[in-house]
Structure 1
Amino acid sequence: MANESSVEKNKRQLVMKQLILVYLFLVCGLFSFAQTSFVNLENYRTEWLILRENDRSLVGIRSFTSNAVKYYLTVDPTTLQTRVVGDRSVSVRYKDANQVNKSLKGSVYERCFSFVRKTENNLQDAGLNFSLPKEAGINLTIDLCPSHKPLDKAIFEDLLLAFRGVDGTLPLAVSVSGKWMLNHGADLEWLKSLAGKGIKITWINHTYDHVFNNHPLSSNFLLSKNTDLRFEVLENEKLMLKNGLMPSVFFRCPGLVSDRRIIEHLISYGLLAVGSDAWLAKGQQAKNGSIVLIHGNGNEELGVHDFIKLLQAESEAIKTKHWTLYSLSEGLDQNEH
């Protein structure tokens, strides 16, 4: 009997180990899905749908297939958070544009389009370009335009040092261009690894080519002759997804240059242009709630230097939690601009 009891005990332990392994496999599977790099991405296209996931609604702005499975890139109309969901986990509620727009009436997402349209005739700095939260702190945006120079890691390292022991999560936004990603694979992986150190990055589409010439602003950047805006937007999103980045609902125009046509096209893609009221390298001062712009591609030493000086100036306020970083979506639900 003692031997039988021992055998049964060993069997139970084996079963428990197997259950634990299954559980870990499932958890790791879910985690890896959240980090998925859609290398075999195909049939990428714009959509404008209301999807139902359990008891909540999501806005579908893109669809694509990967390994014969259909996916949607979605936006939560209240939080503005984006996620990729499989078509089996959602149902299509509305696909008619009028019905979708009616469903979004009064949402944070819909109000943000109104904010953007108020500045759509600006040649420069159209979009969300005003202070967001009222509390002390900034919305940090770091642009990665094409460059042969390495990533300016000091920005991120100094941030972690300044907030060490103060905040567990540091939100910031990185505007990434396709040509930068293609030439800085190791730097991109380093940026992705910062999630393990508490830095939460909102990835902003900064176009695929980031066209630049020596012409006046009215015929430069996205306003350059023969620029294909659809290509610049969608090809960069595809490249982001292939590299395991989650495209956000935000878009940064190169040079902050655009016109009404471009802003309206971005809106039709479900995207919100993000400007800046504090481009540090241009001498603009950061205020509470400012959307701060610096370049982390090695081409803007002055802006990086000014940002590090700002961190040093606010060091005591950071330690006492009276100055912090915000994500771009914070404050938009209360803002009445």
Structure 2
Amino acid sequence: MIRRLSLLLLILAASASAHTIGRYRAVPLGCEGRWALLRLFDLDGSPARLEVDTQTLRTRIATGTPPETSPCEASSRYLRLLRRASAAPHPLQNDGITHASQGLYLTTDLCPSSKKGYEERLYRSLITSFRHPVPVTLFITKRWIDKHPRALEELQAWNRKGRLAITWGNHTAWHHYHPGVPLEHNFVLSPEENLTADILELEKSLIRHGAIPSVFCRFPGLVSDSKAVAAVAKLGLITIGTDAWLAKGQNPKEGSIILLHGNGNEPRGVDRFFKLLHRGEIRGLRSLTELSLSKEN
């Protein structure tokens, strides 16, 4: 009862302090030093911008008049990964970067869900099993955020307290899905999709709730085509796939990008993660901001 009351107070406080976002827009990629400018917007009535460090891949929100920019260094780690993630071929499913040169990278998708709760057991297990802060990427949707404010606040509280080190990935705002419709006309390939608006709306939702969007994007259902990949790259985002979707029976290995669903829709994947963890097959995790490839372009 006390825990529920504490969470309720946190949610109310977060709602009362939610930021206002205006004139949110993507801008042509340009750099000031090692910082690449991605977005311009008004934050609580003042000019602000979203930037990424082209070497560490970490993003920040800066305020004030935007600086003059020049072309970014083509050999920077960020642009090398951006080129690799958007390069041909373009499969219908699982495009982008699916494997790294070393380490294990845990990613959890928070797609729209009718479930009241979420896989709280997964994140609590991370906190008790690994050294803090535990790196994890949340590919999140606005529809999930809107329906699960308590879960979002709990995740943010762990992040603020240094128990988790959350990278906030883009899984689009709306995550369109039509049961029974072929993949070629489903998810972001649905006829009603406006991918650029869908991605920017999710970023706005994160900033409104006090989170900083990353430069990583995962397509809903892992479905995309060459136009979708190009649209994401134009927005400065790195497409991330997976080679270890645990609920599908795929096994992680050195360099794997692990996919779990944190919304409660695939408990089988979380159960398999626990088995691997207890068998000592997952001994450490890395942040996607540490992503490196054996043959970066």
TM-score under structure 1 length normalisation: 0.78
Matched, 1:325 2:285: yes
Of 157, 179, 183, 2:124 maps to: 157
Give runs of aligned pairs for residues 101-250 of structure 1, distance below 5 A: 103-119=72-88, 121-130=90-99, 132-134=100-102, 137-149=103-115, 150-163=117-130, 167-195=131-159, 196-213=161-178, 214-250=180-216
Q: Specify the code of the residue in structure 2 equivalent to 1:199.
A: L
Aligned-pair identity in percent equals 36
1:44 equivalent in structure 2: 24
> Residues 236 and 120 (structure 1 numbering): CA distance in 2 closer, same or farther, change over 3 Å?
farther
- SS at 2:112's partner residue? coil
Deviation at 1:168, TM superposition (A): 2.8
Counting helix residues as a fraction of each chain, which structure ranks higher?
Answer: 1
Decide which structure has the larger Cα Rg and report it: 1
> Residues 259 and 326 (structure 1 numbering): CA distance in 2 closer, same or farther, change over 3 Å?
same
Alignment partners' CA distance in 1, 2:89 and 2:176: 20
Q: Specify the code of the residue in structure 1 equivalent to 2:122.
A: I
Q: Specify the code of the residue in structure 1 equivalent to 2:259.
A: L
Deviation at 1:112, TM superposition (A): 0.8
1:294 equivalent in structure 2: 260
Alignment partners' CA distance in 2, 1:51 and 1:106: 13
2:5 equivalent in structure 1: none
Alignment partners' CA distance in 2, 1:159 and 1:119: 35
- Post-superposition Cα deviations, 1:140-176, rounded to whole Å, max 9, x if no partner, equal 000000012111101011112222xxx2321110011
The answer (yes or no) to whether the contact 1:108–1:333 under 8 Å persists in 2 is no
Unaligned runs of 5+ in 1: 1-36, 95-99
Q: CA RMSD in A?
A: 1.8
Of 41, 47, 53, 1:76 maps to: 53
Alignment partners' CA distance in 2, 1:191 and 1:197: 11
TM-score under structure 2 length normalisation: 0.89
Deviation at 1:333, TM superposition (A): 6.7
Alignment partners' CA distance in 1, 2:113 and 2:204: 20
1:252 equivalent in structure 2: 218
The answer (yes or no) to whether the contact 1:139–1:328 under 8 Å persists in 2 is yes
Unaligned runs of 5+ in 2: 1-16
The answer (yes or no) to whether the contact 2:188–2:219 under 8 Å persists in 1 is yes
The answer (yes or no) to whether the contact 2:101–2:293 under 8 Å persists in 1 is no
Deviation at 1:49, TM superposition (A): 4.3
Deviation at 1:239, TM superposition (A): 0.7
> Residues 211 and 310 (structure 1 numbering): CA distance in 2 closer, same or farther, change over 3 Å?
same
Q: Specify the code of the residue in structure 2 equivalent to 1:256.
A: L
- SS at 1:92's partner residue? coil
- SS at 1:324's partner residue? coil
The answer (yes or no) to whether the contact 2:19–2:44 under 8 Å persists in 1 is no
> Residues 268 and 170 (structure 1 numbering): CA distance in 2 closer, same or farther, change over 3 Å?
same
